[in-house]
Chain A
Amino acid sequence: MSDKIRSHTPTVIGSDVAFKGELTFEGEMKFEGRLEGKITSKGAISVGTAAEINGDLSVGKATIDGTLEGNILATDRVELTATSQVKADLRAPKLIVEEGATFIGNLHVSPDALKKGEKGSKKAEFVSEESATPVPTKK
């Protein structure tokens, strides 16, 4: 399989999969299983309707159709669809909510939500490239 085809094929984790631990991927993933742990990526994840995640999500873009309990940190955007049930602390620059979505938790949505120095952003893991450059300290 060529790299070009592979890059457009998302990883799929089926509904009969249940595991604990940390999951890392590149590109796109469709998650339909059950997980207790953490998902880390700079790519996009789609959490299916049957999926149940109990843990943290640190991704570029997240589309949630299923159930999630934990923290969500997205560098690009989070989409909550009508079937989603989320109990989490969410931090993202953009949020899209479909009518019918259920959410409970702390919400931090702003264009500079992930930048350092923003109120309450100490726990943010992903830092944008602009703010990642070291700032010279005054003596």
Chain B
Amino acid sequence: MARAPRTRRVQCPRCETGVEVSTNARSILCSGCHQSLLTEDEKVKAYCARREFFSEGTITVTKKGTLIADVRVRSLIIQGEVKGPVRSREAIHVGKTGRLYGDFTAPSLRVEAGAKIIGKCTFGPKAELLQEKSLPIPA
């Protein structure tokens, strides 16, 4: 039987350096920028306003939670409220009670009926190509 991998690769949201860490690691010190980085999943259950919220885990903002920060995470699940620029390395999931205000970037987005999203957004695998390309005018 194959063994489960003991390490996983994380990317520092500050300097974007890739670091191989143990699956059990709860936080690491980035070898690129020498800053501490959380790698465990976290739940925001109450009001939380910070200058920055960087994590390499899955962040869940619960129904009663409010997160106001410059958010850079691996993935984000929103059931409460999130304000601020959001950059996610994986999908953002906005639940039916979720509210997302501010600019956000993610590879994919999941929106449930009833969710509220206001802001400039960029998502999808071809987003960088599309940014540069503009449509030709038909003859």
Contact = CB atoms under 8 A, between A and B. Distances in A.
A120 to B, nearest CB: 7
Interface string B76-117: 000000000000000100000000000000001111011111
A67 interface: yes
B116 A102 contact: no
Contacts of A69: 134-135
Contacts of A126: none
Given A106-B120, A109-B115, A99 B108 contact: yes
Given A85-B130, A94-B113, A105 B121 contact: yes
Contact of B125 (A67, A102, A106): A102
Contacts, number: 85
| Residues of A contacting B: mostly | strand
B110 A52 contact: no
B108 A97 contact: yes
Contacts of B134: 69, 87
A35 B138 contact: yes
A65 B65 CA distance: 36
Nearest to A93: B113
Contacts of A127: none
Nearest to A120: B118
A110 B118 contact: yes
Interface of A: 18-20, 34-36, 52-54, 67, 69, 85, 87, 94-97, 99-111, 119-120
Interface of B: 91, 108-111, 113-127, 130-131, 134-139
Given A97-B110, A102-B126, A103-B124, 14 more contacts: A18-B138, A52-B136, A54-B138, A87-B131, A94-B111, A95-B117, A96-B111, A97-B109, A102-B130, A104-B122, A104-B130, A106-B120, A110-B115, A120-B118
